[in-house]
């Protein structure tokens, strides 16, 4: 009898609980889903729709005309090219430098927590606050050029030449190194102790220890940091804008500059097509990284 | 004998590696905090010292600073010649426009942080308690959108704000901020770790969903809520893109994070104080709760799994 009741309970419990959970937890997500739909999801489909019509009043279907004219648009292609060049330079650095710093911080070093705090602090400081110092240092009449002049090297126009990319890369790294370093430190802390100890006992040197053991365990966090830095590199407009304003040196004209300037002329079709293209590029890059990570990471199970 | 030698060698190796680490870390750390330190120390310079040191950079028009002395060469000083609160007094008392911009920042950031978390708590509870096709899909879309840069999300945001007729008002920045998915992502990941046995126990005690949510899930996510709040605060305190688009025709409502870059040559004597005031709040918050910030960042990597 008891057995029967028990088996009956077993049979019924999961089903009834699940159904109850489904409906009773539904109301909790209504505000979030509603707001998300209203501000992000539905207008995104409108954007998609706008990218295929001639203008919001006429609403005539024009297939890929908006995209084609965008790809022929000099300003858009320039901003796309600049953004991609920046990503190619900045992302590897934003992965490697924090990784090295995190490995150094893993050792038992005096004053470790002070170094850590100092390296992370730029993360919390608004970029706008330090722009002044950046300008004092890199301006044509600034500190670096004064120094270069004193050692007899010709001054460089750091904001209005190809060197400006370097300046922005430095600002980007200054801002983003801390975050990535924290992620790597967390990953290093998660490597099981017995694995580390086994490697130490086997007498494997620090460099081989890194490539043979740590790198394996960290592959997924390296993957994540790469994605994150890539996305952040698309956001570098902020730094460029604060440093040089709406119309920077040609090499610093970023996608967001194009979007901002197109907003001013309220060309919805172009804006929409641009947003969709950027969305596709980001999605493609992330998907690619996922594929690479799956191939690399299959050897180690987390 | 041999053992001693290798041990000694290993020791020397260890010392050398620590010294190298110290040098590299010390150098990088110094470079990293330099802009912050310089901004703070320069904020205590007198107006005439600022003009003398940096006049060459900030007065290209040449007209604004004719009367005062300008050094031939830019002179970046760490310690001011004379410590003065002149800049602060000018900012806080004589130039209300900076305080107004500061208030703008506060008015945007506080409601976004509070309401994004409140809205997210509900959604996260729902996502964590029950997994179904709809919820999994929704959660995936949230993450995908979280990863998109502003170039993608601002155009939809703008269309809705235009349709609701809230462009160039505070709401056009605050409302999309509240429904941004970052908090949902972190809090869902946190709540998913709460064991289901606790839910069962609460149910047997007769708790309804609202009670489980309020008495079990929210208290158990306290640390994550705190981390998310700090990260959100820092992120929105630094915002630039949203106000530039949403408040195109209403610069009076720009937050200080945008306005700071527009300080012109004539006001360079107080710029460092404004910059310092603006970074003090997030900096103190960070130093006060560094561990929570680190936890929050570390938990954001849960994207995969």
What is the structure's pLDDT at B78? Answer: 76
- What is the C-alpha separation between B100 and B251, in angstroms, rounded? 12
Mean pLDDT of B140-156: 89
Portions of chain A given CATH number 1.10.3720.10? 66-129+159-297
Contact at CB, B123 and A31, closer than 8 angstroms: yes
Chain B, 131-150: which have a CB under 8 Å from a chain A CB? 132, 135, 138, 141-142, 144-145, 147-150
Nearest CA in chain B to A278: B152
Tokens coding A288: 């690619």
Domain B93-304 in CATH 1.10.3720.10: yes
Distance in Å, alpha carbon of B68 to nearest chain A alpha carbon: 18
Give the N- to C-terminal CA distance of chain B in Å, as an integer. Answer: 52
- Residue for token pair 């699940």: A18
Candidate from A125, A137, A179 with C-beta closest to B297: A179
- Rg over alpha carbons for chain B, rounded to the nearest Å, is 26
Tokens coding B3: 């053992």
Mean pLDDT of B191-211: 89
Candidate from B158, B240, B245 with C-beta closest to A242: B240
Q: Is pLDDT at B126 greater than 50 in this prediction?
A: yes
Q: Is pLDDT at B61 greater than 50 in this prediction?
A: no
What is the structure's pLDDT at A22? Answer: 73
Report pLDDT digits (tens) over A181-219: 999 999 888 888 887 777 777 777 777 777 777 888 888
Secondary structure, 3-state, A26-41: HHHHHHHHHHHHHHHH
Contacts of B167 (CB under 8 A, 6+ apart): B158, B161, B246, B248, B249
| Distance (Å) of CA A212 to CA A36, A49, A106, A201, A216 | 44, 50, 17, 15, 7
- Of A210-214, B82-86, B158-162, B261-265, the poorest mean pLDDT is in B261-265
Question: pTM score, two decimals?
Answer: 0.87
Nearest to B285 by CA among B224, B222, B229, B220: B229
Distance in Å, alpha carbon of A18 to nearest chain B alpha carbon: 8
Chain B CB contacts of A293 below 8 Å: 304
- What is the C-alpha separation between B10 and B13, in angstroms, rounded? 5
Total residues belonging to chain B:
305
Portions of chain B given CATH number 1.10.3720.10? 93-304
Tokens coding A207: 């460099």
Give one word for B163, left, alpha or beta, with left for phi > 0 and alpha for psi -120 to 50: alpha
What is the structure's pLDDT at A279? Answer: 93
Contacts of A238 (CB under 8 A, 6+ apart): A127, A256, B238, B240, B241
Contact at CB, B257 and A21, closer than 8 angstroms: no
- Give CA torsion, residues B252, B258, B264, B270, to 10 deg: 90
> Does residue B187 belong to the interface with chain A, where contact is any CB pair within 8 Å?
no
pLDDT band at B60 (very low <50, low <70, confident <90, very high): low
Nearest CA in chain A to B275: A129
- What is the C-alpha separation between A209 and A201, in angstroms, rounded? 11
Residue with more model confidence, A18 or B198: B198
- What is the C-alpha separation between A205 and A227, in angstroms, rounded? 30
**pLDDT over 70 percentage in chain B:** 91
What is the structure's pLDDT at B64? Answer: 46
What is the structure's pLDDT at A302? Answer: 39
Contact B267, B64 (CB under 8 A): no
C-beta neighbour count of A215 within 10 angstroms? 14
Distance in Å, alpha carbon of B255 to nearest chain A alpha carbon: 11
- If one looks up domain A66-129+159-297 in CATH, what number appears? 1.10.3720.10
Nearest to B54 by CA among B68, B33, B80, B73: B73
- What is the C-alpha separation between A66 and A52, in angstroms, rounded? 7
What is the structure's pLDDT at A102? Answer: 92
The DSSP code for A56 is: T
What is the structure's pLDDT at A202? Answer: 73
Report pLDDT digits (tens) over A28-65: 999 999 999 999 999 999 999 999 988 777 788 888 88
- What is the C-alpha separation between B199 and B207, in angstroms, rounded? 9
Report pLDDT digits (tens) over B84-120: 888 888 888 877 888 899 999 999 999 999 999 999 9
- Residue for token pair 């290209």: B60
pLDDT band at B25 (very low <50, low <70, confident <90, very high): very high
Mean pLDDT of B185-196: 90
B31 by Cβ neighbours in 10 Å (0-12 / 13-18 / 19+) ranks as middle
Distance in Å, alpha carbon of A219 to nearest chain B alpha carbon: 12
A228 by Cβ neighbours in 10 Å (0-12 / 13-18 / 19+) ranks as buried
- What is the C-alpha separation between A204 and B106, in angstroms, rounded? 53
Q: Does ipTM exceed 0.90?
A: no
- Residue for token pair 């959970």: A21
Mean pLDDT of B134-155: 89
Angle subtended at Cα B290 by Cα B287 and Cα B293, rounded to the nearest 5 degrees: 130
Question: pLDDT 10s per residue in chain A (302 long)?
Answer: 566 555 555 555 444 455 667 778 888 999 999 999 999 999 999 999 999 988 777 788 888 888 999 999 999 999 999 999 999 999 999 999 999 999 888 877 888 889 999 999 999 999 989 888 888 888 888 888 888 888 888 888 888 888 899 999 999 999 999 999 999 999 888 888 887 777 777 777 777 777 777 888 888 888 889 988 998 898 899 999 988 888 888 889 999 899 888 888 878 888 999 999 999 998 998 888 888 877 765 544 43
Mean pLDDT of B22-37: 92
Tokens coding B134: 């709809």
Residue with more model confidence, B52 or A221: A221
Nearest to A226 by CA among A111, A96, A137: A96
Contact at CB, B298 and A186, closer than 8 angstroms: yes
- What is the C-alpha separation between B193 and B183, in angstroms, rounded? 16
Tokens coding A246: 């709406």
What is the structure's pLDDT at B271? Answer: 85
Nearest to A188 by CA among A114, A103, A80: A103
Mean pLDDT over all residues of chain B? 86
Distance in Å, alpha carbon of B297 to nearest chain A alpha carbon: 7
What is the structure's pLDDT at A13? Answer: 47
């Amino acid at each position: 009898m008891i057995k029967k009741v028990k088996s009956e309970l077993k049979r019924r419990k999961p089903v009834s609980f699940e159904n109850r959970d489904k409906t009773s937890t539904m109301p909790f997500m209504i505000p979030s889903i509603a707001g998300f739909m209203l501000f992000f999801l539905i207008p995104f489909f409108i954007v998609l729709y706008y990218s295929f019509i001639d203008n919001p009043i006429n609403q005539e279907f024009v297939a890929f005309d908006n995209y084609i004219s965008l790809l022929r648009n000099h300003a858009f292609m320039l901003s796309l090219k600049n953004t991609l060049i920046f990503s190619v330079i900045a992302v590897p650095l934003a992965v490697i430098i924090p990784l090295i710093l995190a490995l150094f911080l893993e050792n038992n070093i005096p004053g470790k927590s002070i170094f850590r705090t100092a390296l992370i602090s730029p993360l919390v400081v608004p970029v706008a606050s330090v722009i002044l110092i950046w300008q004092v240092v890199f301006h044509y009449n600034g500190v670096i050029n004064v120094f270069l002049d004193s050692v007899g090297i010709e001054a460089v126009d750091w904001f209005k030449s190809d060197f400006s990319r370097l300046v922005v890369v430095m600002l980007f790294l200054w801002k983003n190194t801390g975050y990535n370093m924290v992620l790597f430190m967390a990953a290093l802390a998660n490597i099981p102790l017995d694995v580390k100890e086994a490697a130490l006992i086997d007498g494997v040197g620090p460099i081989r220890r890194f490539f043979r053991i740590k790198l394996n365990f960290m592959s997924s966090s390296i993957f994540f940091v790469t994605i994150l830095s890539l996305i952040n590199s698309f956001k570098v407009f902020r730094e460029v804008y604060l440093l040089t304003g709406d119309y920077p040196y040609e090499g610093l004209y970023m996608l967001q500059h194009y979007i901002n300037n197109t907003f001013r002329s309220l060309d919805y079709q172009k804006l929409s097509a641009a947003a969709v293209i950027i969305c596709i590029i980001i999605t493609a890059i992330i998907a690619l990284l996922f594929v690479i990570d799956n191939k690399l990471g299959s050897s180690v199970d987390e | 004998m041999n053992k001693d030698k290798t041990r000694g060698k290993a020791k020397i190796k260890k010392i050398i590696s620590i010294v190298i680490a110290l040098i590299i870390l010390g150098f990088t750390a110094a470079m990293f905090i330099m802009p912050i330190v310089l901004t703070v120390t320069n904020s205590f310079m007198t107006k005439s010292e600022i003009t003398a040191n940096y006049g060459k950079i900030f007065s290209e028009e040449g007209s604004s600073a004719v009367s005062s002395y300008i050094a031939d060469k830019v002179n970046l000083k760490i310690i001011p010649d004379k410590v003065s609160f002149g800049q602060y007094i000018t900012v806080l008392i004589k130039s209300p426009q900076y305080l107004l911009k500061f208030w703008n920042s506060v008015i945007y950031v506080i409601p976004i942080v509070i309401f994004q978390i409140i809205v997210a708590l509900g959604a996260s509870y729902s996502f964590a308690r029950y997994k179904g096709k709809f919820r999994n899909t929704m959660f995936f879309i949230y993450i995908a959108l979280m990863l998109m840069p502003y170039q993608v999300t601002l155009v939809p945001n703008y269309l809705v704000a235009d349709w609701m007729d809230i462009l160039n008002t505070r709401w056009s920045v605050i409302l999309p901020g509240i429904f941004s998915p970052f908090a949902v992502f972190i809090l869902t990941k946190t709540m998913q770790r709460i064991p289901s046995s606790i839910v069962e126990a609460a149910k047997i005690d007769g708790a309804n969903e609202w009670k489980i949510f309020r008495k079990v899930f929210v208290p158990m996510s306290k640390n994550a809520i705190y981390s998310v709040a700090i990260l959100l605060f820092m992120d929105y305190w630094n915002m630039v893109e949203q106000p530039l688009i949403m408040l195109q025709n209403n610069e009076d409502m720009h937050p200080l994070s945008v306005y700071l870059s527009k300080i012109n040559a004539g006001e360079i004597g107080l710029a460092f104080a404004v910059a310092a005031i603006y970074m003090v709040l997030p900096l103190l918050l960070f130093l006060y709760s560094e561990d929570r910030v680190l936890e929050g960042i570390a938990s954001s990597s849960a994207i995969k799994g």
